[in-house]
Structure 1
């Protein structure tokens, strides 16, 4: 029987990672992470908050219980066995309330979605490990997309085509962090929006989208359309439920992205 793939359990402010996938940043963390069944990680800044050890929860920060979202994270930690038993065939999504509050702070409202035709995208409550990307980072996807990606990846291999994932799931906090850093450098929101989608409006938040390349191809470049990998995707990706979201002259005004594919349905 094939072993179940590791799960990332998602909450509004904290991610719960399976043990063994995060790198330690200090000797104390290294000892804890080497034994951890799970690691609680702050979505806002990437801090490791606690290690779930066989003997109990080990705080990795001072005043752990004052961290925003801890009660929700502890409830989610206790629910992990239920996710494993259910096989995560049905995955809920996180509420959009917190995101809307943060968009309002940036001066963004529903008019952005109306103007671009892009919907707000909720994050999945559970993600599944779908392998590793080009940079050996864990590739997290919605469980349905994880299975579809693996099937498509192996089918391409049988045709002597190597597909490389560049990135998969990205949290709202990840996109908000991009805006925060650019605002700190003196750019305004309108200027940032010419290059980056507003937080909450990327298909990557759903865990159903991934950026794809091939060995020796630069990441996220239009030149990908001339590769054998792209030609294979154009012919076969639909068999696995994936579509290219942003073709030329798409109605959203997004630049042509031959590397960006999303699981539909």
Structure 2
């Protein structure tokens, strides 16, 4: 039985996606993904590991039993398959014990970084809800209350004649590390990257409550967003839907001004 296509099951090393949301990378992948109720995806590089088909689990890599975290992922998948109609509780977070290993790759200590910036560690949720799709037609994952808040806020803005879209939502610790690795490959130092991106483990995006918002036709994640009608609308109305702008000018965290970054903190309609 196919699971409801709105739930991402999250484990420390592997994400379990509902079928129909991931892009095929070959004709072979396309055929399998079209039949799959679930896809197991490695978080560190996005590699597809296995698909759950009507006839059973089909590995997409050799030595799947040796894949780090596979037992925990298969256990989570078995739970979902045995209770497909059950909606998991909203609470539930993944452990942080693997985080320092990621920070070691950047030469950062979590305690020192937290003390220097005032930022705090953010655990990843064990489950995330589909909140629609972002500007690039990628699945937008948020916690269930943040997803509801975003959908209501976007719809209310549309009624007022204001168009806005999501640029990105939930990001794993591994994804954040990948951002740093790609920027370092372009010649930026870790210190330079930290003025724009929080260290892995410290981004609000990890918790599934933050999203970057844009206006159609405007470049993503640029300070110029503050001059759009969408930003003016958010300043007036976002708090009514539980969202606030996390990094205003001269914020105490050392993060550049981000008028596009909004986080659901609760309350509102």
What residue is the counterpart of 1:76 in the other structure? 76
Unaligned runs of 5+ residues in structure 2 are: none
What residue is the counterpart of 1:239 in the other structure? 240
Unaligned runs of 5+ residues in structure 1 are: none
**Structure 1: distance between partners of 2:95 and 2:248:** 30
Instruction: Give yes or no for contact 1:5–1:128 (8 Å, CA) kept in 2.
Output: no
Instruction: Give yes or no for contact 2:130–2:142 (8 Å, CA) kept in 1.
Output: yes
TM-score between the two structures when normalised by the length of structure 1: 0.93
What residue is the counterpart of 1:262 in the other structure? 263
1:162 to partner: Cα distance? 1.0
Give the number of equivalent residue pairs. 263
What residue is the counterpart of 1:158 in the other structure? 159
> Do the aligned partners of residues 178 and 60 (structure 1) sit closer, same or farther apart at CA in structure 2, a change above 3 Å counting?
same
1:193 to partner: Cα distance? 2.7
**Structure 2: distance between partners of 1:82 and 1:161:** 43
1:42 to partner: Cα distance? 0.5
1:164 to partner: Cα distance? 0.6
Cα shift readout 1:6-64 (whole Å, capped 9, x = no counterpart): 11111000000000111111222221111000000000111110000111000011111
What residue is the counterpart of 1:196 in the other structure? 197
Instruction: Give yes or no for contact 1:148–1:240 (8 Å, CA) kept in 2.
Output: yes
**Deviating runs (4+, > 6 A) in structure 1?**
none
What residue is the counterpart of 1:170 in the other structure? 171
Instruction: Give yes or no for contact 1:8–1:16 (8 Å, CA) kept in 2.
Output: yes
What residue is the counterpart of 1:63 in the other structure? 63
**Structure 2: distance between partners of 1:253 and 1:227:** 25
Q: In the TM superposition, what are the counterparts of 1:125-136 in structure 2 within 5 Å?
A: 125-136=126-137
Q: Is 1:37 equivalent to 2:52 in the alignment?
A: no
What residue is the counterpart of 1:113 in the other structure? 114
**SS of aligned partner of 1:210:** strand
**Structure 2: distance between partners of 1:8 and 1:48:** 15
**Structure 2: distance between partners of 1:26 and 1:142:** 31
**SS of aligned partner of 2:250:** coil
**SS of aligned partner of 2:98:** helix
What residue is the counterpart of 2:19 in the other structure? 19
Q: Output the aligned Cα RMSD.
A: 1.9
Cα shift readout 1:150-177 (whole Å, capped 9, x = no counterpart): 1111111111111110110111001111
What residue is the counterpart of 1:219 in the other structure? 220
1:105 to partner: Cα distance? 4.2
What residue is the counterpart of 2:150 in the other structure? 149
1:93 to partner: Cα distance? 0.6
Instruction: Give yes or no for contact 1:88–1:143 (8 Å, CA) kept in 2.
Output: no
> Do the aligned partners of residues 86 and 243 (structure 1) sit closer, same or farther apart at CA in structure 2, a change above 3 Å counting?
farther
Instruction: Give yes or no for contact 1:35–1:53 (8 Å, CA) kept in 2.
Output: yes
TM-score between the two structures when normalised by the length of structure 2: 0.91
**SS of aligned partner of 2:50:** strand
**Structure 2: distance between partners of 1:222 and 1:147:** 26
1:85 to partner: Cα distance? 4.4
